[in-house]
Structure 1
Amino acid sequence: MKNLQEKYIAGLDGLRAVAVLMVIGYHLKLPIFKGGVLGVTIFFVISGFLITRLLLQELQKTNKIDLKNFWIKRIKRIWPALILMVSVTVILSAIFNRLVFTKACRDFISALLGYNNWYQIFNNISYFDNGGAPSPLLHCWSLAIETQFYLIFPLIIIIIAKFKSTKKERHQVLSVITTLLIIISAILMAVLFNPNGDPSRVYYGLDTRCFSLLVGALLAIIVESDIKIGLTKPANDIIGIISLVCVCIIVTKVAGYDAFLYKGGYLLTSILTAFVILSILRKQSMLSKFLSIPVIDWLGKLSYSIYLWHYPIIILISGGQSASLSIMLLEVTLTLVASVLSYYLVETPIRRGILSKTIKMLKDKIQKDQRVIKKGITIASVCLALVVTSTLCVAFVPKENMSDDIVQESSNKVVKKDIKKPETTPSTTNSQDSQYVDLSNGQEIINNLDVFVIGDSIVSGSFAKFQETFPHLKLSSKESRQANLSISILTSALNEEGWNGDSLIFALGTNGPLYDYLPKVRELLPQDKTMFVISLHAPYTQWQDDNNQKIEEFCKNTDNVYLIDWAQYCKGHNDWFEKDQTHPNKLGGTEQFLNCIKESIIKAYQKDKIKLTKKS
């Protein structure tokens, strides 16, 4: 292909800047970046393209690929900054936040050795749902995927080169194999994705994510082949701009856990990114000029450092929760400062060979540049000191587990309990002896309400308070329960167990998106029975706000459905929760949780004058 940039590609660093801004916006929980995880997809496509193009050019020029040299260059590019970030993060978290430190310790080895993605998978660690603040090293999963790609894909190229001697033959075979691998990987993502569960397995896996890197690789094969693409400059510009705009629209409209991404959205974004890169490649293209604006280009050069540092800084300062504008500005500023220091004082000197030059000057009898030696020794000493200190922290600093404070009751409780009702103030109405409850007496409503609660560990942790509050109670709760299971639970209760109570309390949504299960539950529930839905307080999950919005709209627009606004009720009362800021604690939290439920139920029955039969 002609009229393309060869060595340094103006605008590609700018595209990296766009990608890292998407990721930062996502982790800051800015609504406009609800799909900011796609920034990582852009990084994957860029990496796949650059690495494959580099390998193909070397193969064409020297008729071989120097794997040792290739891997050494990758190590110099990835590990110095990574080691620095991991070491500093472990030390700071050990000092300031022992819970975050404990989680960082679990990721310490896997983050450094390039298998963090598989560690997260085999330990069932969610990217989207965390008990309390997540590990500050959780973002290292993407580096692990790239590392694994760098180990495997060059070998594929070398094997093909052994059997196909001409450039044309090599590229033909490689393009076919790469295309097949893209299709297989994308299909695996779609098939393994479970819309009723956490998508982290397919999000982390090399097998389900490598298609993005391979799309970049396929673009490099096409670019390095003699294929002619008859696009005029205006057409090239239009395609590139439209593709980038489409990616930005997806980022603003589609959440990172949305089924669309796993059913083709990630693949679509990868292909659109490839079109953007193709547009940038053309000399003097509009995108190339725009993304080469000095400040954008500079941020792009820092993008790897920014990606490394932004996440631990956000976790250590705000815990990954939505924060005020001033806190976000502080996090962004510290990220930029740390990235600049890392890039200019550690990454760039090491990439340019400062350590090897220092060793050679100290070892050989040649003219010694004291400035180079001093700089090299300083960098090596600081990095070594940080690594040793962080390793000692991991080995000896006491850990603190949040799970010790969260009591999980046994699952699937079914309770039918009658207790002596407390005395109530006699009613002055003539309906005292009727079959219906006097609605002016709130406690009498609670005492006579036959209620069925479907919940997760939030309900399990408050089990004793539910028993104490509701004399006529049926309760089903289980840790990590997803909303989809409410359908089978309610169906079984109605058809097999013969439940015919007054109200259903729906207390799910902490462990995953609600999707469209609320209307399905209401449809199953007989029309004469009231339904109450509890809003969420789960600030470390990605779906809290979306679920609460769905709950609010559903309660507002559906007959005989009422909101129990726990999210609003507990606002400003962090002392009601365990350290995960999700489970009400035993020091008043569970009591306030039940108070919120009681008050909401009483208000609904009194406001709408809902008839409630007295229970014997």
Structure 2
Amino acid sequence: MARRHFVGLDGLKGIALIAIVLYHCDQRVLHGGFLGVDVFFTISGFLIFSSLLRRIDAGEGMGLGEYCLKRLRRIYPALFALVPITVTLAWFVNRDMLVGIRDQIITVLLGCYNWYAISSGGSYFSQTNPDLCRHLWFMAVLMQFYVVAPLLITVLRNSIRRWIPVLILVGLSACSALSMALQYHPGDDPTRVYFGSDTHAAGLWLGAAFAWGLMIWQRDRDRGIMPDAMDRIRRAWGNAGPVAAFVALLALIWMMRRVDQGAMAFQGGIFVASVLSVVMIAGSIPFGSWMQDLLVFKPLVLIGRHSYGIYLWHWPLYLFVRTMLPQWTVVHAGRLLAITAVCTAIMSIVSWRLFESPVLRGGFLALARPTVAGAADVMRCCVAVALLVGSCGMGAYAVAHAPVRTSVERDLMDASMAMAQGRENHAVLNRNKTPAPRKPAHKMPNGTQMTAIGDSVMLASSKGLQSTFPGITVDAETSRSMTKAVGLVNQLKAQPGGLRQWVLVGLATNSAVTDDQLGDLLDAIGSDHVLVLINAHAPVSWVSDTNAALKRFAGAHPNDVVLVDWDTLISAHPDELARDGIHPGVENTLYSQLVKDTITNWIKQGH
């Protein structure tokens, strides 16, 4: 299998990388941009197996020493630059990013960060903790695959012949996709199934299966023993392949626009994206495929060839830009993306010129030793050594003095403790107080008539709620979503006076909200209560649809539901938000005052 047959793969990688960057920097632009990862997985599985099988077929053996050295030279130079430089920058820009950084660095370098994130409760889909290494779960899965690939090839080639290995690899892919589907539970954080090397390997195994099948087909063709039926399929694919690849590309783009982080993705969507990736590869690599003309578009090829460096740098740089310009997080997300793209391009070039390219040419010693004659290479070595030594020194200091919790987490803990104290002070009152019967025309409620159920945004605003509505009961926790609402309401109803007449619900930040969930919530609360829904403000993909669902539901139940438009208000006051662009400061009263003003206006309208 000659390398020249794989023209077009850099273009595919360029498309996939653009989707990933858009998803990371502004999920509202491309809800399913995370599917670009599965394009990369499929291409990686195909290329790794192709490379190893090509050597074996040529009688050169697997060359494990060369294989391992090549992988090390490709992976670690960029990481050795990325880690100390970004840690140093984080110390000066936003120390919240350094929470847990020591363990993150160790597991990244060992190639098991994905399992560390799973075991430590990290979330890929959370916007609260700005983890510097969050995106490197992808590299961990790849590194584990690099270890398994030669071992599996040895087993399959020594014990089984012909097409059986292809079927086994396809079976491994199907098992991985099935495991993802079975372990995913709607409403729960999907990080386990997304990060798991067992559950998110469908693309890797499909790419490997295609590489093995292509090897068999090419061997039969070269030996002149290809069956007539297979030859007819080959000729037919020469005409239909480019069309199929183009249709697969359109289908994948459609999925990236429509598929969200929910059941559609984790119960089949990711596997479908991997299958489409195989079709794109199969239709793009043959000689004469007009798809190659589309995929050799130079900007795409350039992005694809340097995809590794771009992927490594774009996420931490986006965090830095977002921290320095928090007011732009939602209002001017496009500007943040543009600045991030420029910074990423600069750092990717620096990383390639100073670290990656020299090591690929001359080994790790080339970092500090010129590989070609001339003052330019001497200068390159001096700059590289100075940058590494300086950033490693400062980075080590930053790691040693990294905070245990982020500033947002500390504020939320303080708010939670204050809220718990408030509940204790009102325990006797709550036990003996029963909600007043609803009257035909409402009056402005006081705190003793109100129950609030919410997530971390409400928790951050709990002090303001208790100040604006003395006596209010606030039950708010981090990472809580609307899927918990009905259960919480039922728990409160089981307590004497637990569910008061006015029920505030702020659970729109952490997951999508559906009409059915809202209907069940209203039914659970009952007709003698007023439901006050508070919408969300966050740079995540589901917020716009969730806010639309809340507005639609409030409009359909105007006499029972009040909608508090937190998103519009805080968008006009982004300076009131913490560095994550989601949580207001714990001293804020904007949230509580908006609730009060909205209820007042609702009552004035005759409700």
C-alpha distance in structure 2 between counterparts of 1:28 and 1:313, whole Å? 10
Q: Is the 8 A contact 1:94 1:397 kept in 2?
A: no
Aligned residue type for 1:480: S
Per-residue CA distance 1:295-351 (angstroms, 9 max, x = gap): 322222121111111111111101493444333322211211222232244322221
User: Which TM-score applies when normalising by structure 2?
Assistant: 0.85
C-alpha distance in structure 2 between counterparts of 1:519 and 1:572, whole Å? 31
User: Match of 2:108?
Assistant: 111
User: Which TM-score applies when normalising by structure 1?
Assistant: 0.84
What is the percentage of aligned positions where both structures have the same residue?
26
* 1:20-419 matches, cutoff 5 A: 20-29=17-26, 31-62=28-59, 64-102=61-99, 104-132=101-129, 134-164=130-160, 169=161, 171-226=162-217, 228=230, 229-230=233-234, 231-255=236-260, 257-319=261-323, 321-322=329-330, 323-353=332-362, 355=364, 369=373, 374=378, 377-378=381-382, 381-382=385-386, 384-385=388-389, 388-389=392-393, 391-399=395-403, 401-402=406-407, 403-406=409-412, 407-409=414-416
Q: Is the 8 A contact 1:129 1:512 kept in 2?
A: no
3-state SS in 2 of match to 1:532: strand
Tell me whether 462-471 or 26-35 shows the greater mean CA deviation: 462-471
User: By how many angstroms is 1:67 displaced?
Assistant: 1.6
User: Match of 2:593?
Assistant: 595
Judged with a 3 Å threshold, the aligned counterparts in structure 2 of structure 1 residues 461 and 318 are, in CA distance, closer, same or farther, namely closer
Judged with a 3 Å threshold, the aligned counterparts in structure 2 of structure 1 residues 14 and 567 are, in CA distance, closer, same or farther, namely same
Aligned residue type for 1:108: I
Per-residue CA distance 1:127-159 (angstroms, 9 max, x = gap): 111325x12221111011100100112111112
User: By how many angstroms is 1:237 displaced?
Assistant: 1.4
Q: Is the 8 A contact 2:163 2:213 kept in 1?
A: no
User: By how many angstroms is 1:449 displaced?
Assistant: 7.4
Per-residue CA distance 1:361-384 (angstroms, 9 max, x = gap): 99xxxxx95669837844762464
Q: Is the 8 A contact 1:107 1:116 kept in 2?
A: yes
C-alpha distance in structure 2 between counterparts of 1:32 and 1:542, whole Å? 8
Aligned residue type for 2:598: S
3-state SS in 1 of match to 2:199: helix
User: By how many angstroms is 1:392 displaced?
Assistant: 2.1
Q: Which has the larger radius of gyration?
A: 1
User: Match of 2:603?
Assistant: 605
C-alpha distance in structure 2 between counterparts of 1:8 and 1:374, whole Å? 38
Tell me whether 322-331 or 68-77 shows the greater mean CA deviation: 322-331
Aligned residue type for 1:303: S
Q: Is the 8 A contact 2:358 2:367 kept in 1?
A: no
Judged with a 3 Å threshold, the aligned counterparts in structure 2 of structure 1 residues 379 and 396 are, in CA distance, closer, same or farther, namely same
Q: Is the 8 A contact 2:535 2:566 kept in 1?
A: yes
Tell me whether 98-107 or 9-18 shows the greater mean CA deviation: 98-107
User: By how many angstroms is 1:75 displaced?
Assistant: 0.9
3-state SS in 2 of match to 1:273: helix
User: By how many angstroms is 1:204 displaced?
Assistant: 0.8
Aligned residue type for 1:404: R
Q: Is the 8 A contact 2:314 2:340 kept in 1?
A: yes
User: By how many angstroms is 1:253 displaced?
Assistant: 1.2
The question of 1:505 aligning with 2:504 is answered yes
Judged with a 3 Å threshold, the aligned counterparts in structure 2 of structure 1 residues 11 and 585 are, in CA distance, closer, same or farther, namely same
C-alpha distance in structure 2 between counterparts of 1:161 and 1:484, whole Å? 49
3-state SS in 1 of match to 2:198: helix
C-alpha distance in structure 2 between counterparts of 1:135 and 1:216, whole Å? 30
Aligned residue type for 1:592: L
Per-residue CA distance 1:92-122 (angstroms, 9 max, x = gap): 2222222224465552222222111112111
Q: Is the 8 A contact 2:370 2:381 kept in 1?
A: no
3-state SS in 1 of match to 2:52: helix
C-alpha distance in structure 2 between counterparts of 1:140 and 1:174, whole Å? 30
C-alpha distance in structure 1 between counterparts of 2:316 and 2:63, whole Å? 35
User: By how many angstroms is 1:16 displaced?
Assistant: 0.7
Gaps of 5+ in 2: 221-229, 431-436
C-alpha distance in structure 1 between counterparts of 2:180 and 2:41, whole Å? 16
Judged with a 3 Å threshold, the aligned counterparts in structure 2 of structure 1 residues 50 and 390 are, in CA distance, closer, same or farther, namely farther
User: Match of 2:434?
Assistant: none
Per-residue CA distance 1:249-276 (angstroms, 9 max, x = gap): 0001122x12201000000000000000
3-state SS in 2 of match to 1:218: helix
The question of 1:554 aligning with 2:546 is answered no
Answer 1 or 2: which has greater helix percent. Answer: 2
Gaps of 5+ in 1: 363-367, 420-433, 611-616
Q: Is the 8 A contact 2:177 2:271 kept in 1?
A: yes
Judged with a 3 Å threshold, the aligned counterparts in structure 2 of structure 1 residues 392 and 463 are, in CA distance, closer, same or farther, namely closer
Q: Is the 8 A contact 2:501 2:529 kept in 1?
A: yes
Judged with a 3 Å threshold, the aligned counterparts in structure 2 of structure 1 residues 521 and 71 are, in CA distance, closer, same or farther, namely same
Judged with a 3 Å threshold, the aligned counterparts in structure 2 of structure 1 residues 479 and 98 are, in CA distance, closer, same or farther, namely closer
User: By how many angstroms is 1:556 displaced?
Assistant: 2.6
Q: Is the 8 A contact 1:533 1:564 kept in 2?
A: yes
Aligned residue type for 1:511: N
User: Match of 2:433?
Assistant: none
User: By how many angstroms is 1:478 displaced?
Assistant: 3.3
Q: Is the 8 A contact 1:358 1:373 kept in 2?
A: no
Q: Is the 8 A contact 2:354 2:380 kept in 1?
A: no
User: By how many angstroms is 1:26 displaced?
Assistant: 1.1
* 1:432-581 matches, cutoff 5 A: 445-447=444-446, 450-463=449-462, 465-470=464-469, 473-494=472-493, 501-515=500-514, 516-539=516-539, 541-559=540-558, 560-581=560-581
Aligned residue type for 1:109: I
